[in-house]
Amino acid sequence: QTVVTQEPSLTVSPGGTVTLTCASSTGAVTNDYYPNWFQQKPGQTPRALIYSTINKHSWTPARFSGSLLGGKAALTLSGVQPEDEAEYYCLLNYGGWVFGGGTKLTVL
Amino acid sequence: EVQLVESGGGLVQPGGSLRLSCAVSGFTFSNYWMSWVRQAPGKGLEWVADIKPDGSQKYYVDSVKGRFTVSRDNAKNSLYLQMNSLRAEDTAVYYCVKKFDYWGQGTLVTVSS
């Protein structure tokens, strides 16, 4: 069974920079896994942020960026805002799709 | 404006069946892969099923194979999920998703006796 692993929790100060990662149990994550990133705030529907590793949706704030980093997919938030406090999920394609377990980002 | 509106959720006994529907508008439905994603209470997201624009290819997470069937009616701009042999672990909010960019508000399925 394929497992996608994310940091369970991270804390960042307002204005700071934080990188969330997404690892695959099958090995290095590449562009062929079409990494997606989503943000979900309590009681809300998930919101898409990044698709196909680096691409932003029209509504994605400029401070969010996607990349590959050390064999993992990565989501970097630069100049973190208080409203960025949320759960973040990555999604990888293996034929079917597998979500990571989520990273709870605290802005403190 | 893109809209996806799910319906059909509710309380069902273990072993029972439900059919979820998703009515879409604001985009050319017949051009896009569609997905169902679920989220158990207090848990993370889980991809459930995908269907190709013309309905000719379907993919499922292992835990629902043989029990769930995804389908679509492009003439009615609608996506469906037929869920049979439901189990307690299928309890979740089920989201209709367009190519992972737009999400519906979800419909709650509760499997309990």
Query: Over the stretch A83-100, which tens digit does the pLDDT of each residue have?
Result: 999 999 999 999 999 999
Query: Over the stretch B26-81, which tens digit does the pLDDT of each residue have?
Result: 999 999 999 999 999 999 999 999 999 999 999 999 999 999 999 999 999 999 99
CB contact under 8 A, A45 and B95: yes
> pLDDT confidence of A1, banded at 50, 70, 90?
confident
Query: Over the stretch A68-87, which tens digit does the pLDDT of each residue have?
Result: 999 999 999 999 999 999 99
**Which residues in chain B have Cβ-Cβ distances shorter than 8 Å to A97?**
35, 47, 50
pLDDT of amino acid B20: 98
Which of B35, B44, B59 is facing A101, going by the closest CB pair?
B44
Residue closest to B39 by CA, chosen among A59, A86, A44: A44
Count CB pairs under 8 A between chains A and B: 47
Which of A48, A100, A102 is facing B100, going by the closest CB pair?
A48
DSSP calls for A15-84: T-EEEEEEEETTB---GGG--EEEEE-TTS--EEEEETTTEEPTTS-TTEEEEEETTEEEEEEES--GGG
Whole-number average pLDDT of chain B: 98
